[in-house]
Amino acid sequence: MDIRIGIANSPREISFETSQTAADVEKTVADALDGGKSYITLADSKGKTYLVPVASLSYVEVGTEENRRVGFVS
């Protein structure tokens, strides 16, 4: 699943693929925002860990869990 995170006052966004479900990512972000945490922690499918300050979040875009198609469409 693709994740895109917009950071305030930054022209670039964080974009990566994760093996977490959409519900897990949404719960992580919502818990951080509601619980007053200072950062969220997300991991990508390659083993990298991202720590993002909650105060700097502009948006979090969670992609669909659809598999990519391979081949030609006729």
Asked whether residue 53 is assigned to any structural domain, the reply reads: yes
Q: How many residues does the chain have?
A: 74
Could you give the number of structural domains in the chain?
Answer: 1
Q: Which long-range contacts (CB under 8 A, 24 or more apart) does 63-69 make?
A: 63/1, 63/2, 63/3, 63/4, 63/22, 64/1, 64/22, 65/1, 65/21, 65/22
* 3-state SS assignment for residue 73: coil
Report pTM. Answer: 0.78
The percent of residues above 90 in pLDDT, for the chain, comes to 70
- Tens digit of each residue's pLDDT (9 = 90 or more) over 35-59: 889 999 999 999 999 999 999 999 9
Asked whether residue 68 is assigned to any structural domain, the reply reads: no
> pLDDT higher for 30 or 69?
30
Asked whether residue 74 is assigned to any structural domain, the reply reads: no
pLDDT of 64 reads: 73
Domain with 16 in it:
2-62
